[in-house]
Structure 1
Amino acid sequence: MRVFIGTDHAGLEFKEHLKRVLADAGHEPVDCGAFSYDAQDDYPPFCFEVGERTVTEPGSLGVVIGGSGNGEQIAANKVPGVRAALVWNTATAQLARQHNDANVVSIGARQHSPEEAADLVLEFLRTDFSGDERHVRRIGLISDYERDRHRPAGGQPTT
């Protein structure tokens, strides 16, 4: 699977580790930056690129990395079609995919060891969306709001 990865300075070392782990697991990591250490760089552009590339390439997933992962998740979620989830343990990595069909995972590089963070990303990548009707409906509601900025009456998606 193609996996787009982006980070600012806070996750630069982890990103390099993750690229090796993903390649060893048979994935195709695509580096969206940062490409060198700059303590003053800003994470949003890297997250936007990961989100844009993930959305335009069906079947791919994305990883955004920062110190905590919070801002990176927020930035990635500004890209239409992205469902980015901050994960911090195995259960949240699984549920992000199973219930929310998340297509981007956000990781806090300062919150985990490189090995633990890589395991969370791998768990996210190997977990499938359940396809349960209630989850499909909820994702539809989010997509409708993202598209129209209108809350559907009765809590049902319009499409």
Structure 2
Amino acid sequence: MKIAIGSDHTGVYYKYLINNYLSEIGYKIKDFGFYEYGKKVDYPDFIHPTAEFVEKGKADFGIIICGSGNGAAITANKHKKIRAALVWKKEIASLARRHNNANIISLPARFISENKILEIIEVFLKTEFEGGRHQIRIEKID
């Protein structure tokens, strides 16, 4: 499975943590940055390319990170085939996949602890979409 990932400056630490974890368990990662500590950047510069990669079908899922997760999610959701969900706990990750068929998870770096973020990612990536009535609702979004 291939994962696209991108973050602003607040998500750099978590991005490296997630990249290392997913690579170790066999996922392929396409990293769209940001890469440096201490320098501030604008999240759309890294979120748009990540979302475009998922939108074009070049990755199965995307992971995006900014301070609150909101700016990243709003940016990603500008792309037609993207359903980015702002997620801060495992239950939300599960529902985002089961009910909304989210294909990008947006994480709030300032509000998730290091010991929880990998659990959240694992739930998101392993949860299947339920379809049925939820598919009908998703079709109404467009």
Determine the C-alpha separation between the residues in 2 that align with 1:106 and 1:92. Answer: 11
Determine the C-alpha separation between the residues in 2 that align with 1:38 and 1:63. Answer: 21
After the TM superposition, which parts of structure 1 deviate over 6 Å for at least 4 consecutive aligned residues? none
Provide the TM-score with structure 1 as the length reference: 0.85
Q: Is contact 2:4-2:59 (8 Å) kept?
A: no
Determine the C-alpha separation between the residues in 2 that align with 1:141 and 1:78. Answer: 16
Match of 1:148 in 2: none
Determine the C-alpha separation between the residues in 2 that align with 1:37 and 1:79. Answer: 28
Which has the larger Rg? 1
Q: How does 1:31-110 map to 2 (within 5 A)?
A: 31-37=31-37, 39-57=39-57, 60-110=60-110
- 1:80-103 C-alpha deviation (Å, 9 max, x unpaired): 110000011111000000000000
Provide the TM-score with structure 2 as the length reference: 0.94
Match of 2:15 in 1: 15
Q: How far 1:59 moved relative to its partner?
A: 6.0
Determine the C-alpha separation between the residues in 1 that align with 2:99 and 2:59. Answer: 17
Q: Is contact 1:109-1:117 (8 Å) kept?
A: no
Look up the equivalent residue of 1:111 and give its one-letter code. Answer: F
Query: Aligned with 1:71: secondary structure?
Result: helix
Root-mean-square deviation (Å) = 1.3
Look up the equivalent residue of 2:98 and give its one-letter code. Answer: Q
How many pairs align? 142
Q: Which has the higher contact order (CA 8 A, sep 6+)?
A: 2
Residue 4 (1) aligns with residue 9 (2): no
Structure 2 unpaired stretches of 5+: none
Structure 1 unpaired stretches of 5+: 144-159
Q: How far 1:37 moved relative to its partner?
A: 3.2
Q: How far 1:115 moved relative to its partner?
A: 2.6
- 1:44-97 C-alpha deviation (Å, 9 max, x unpaired): 121111111011126610000011111111111011110000011111000000
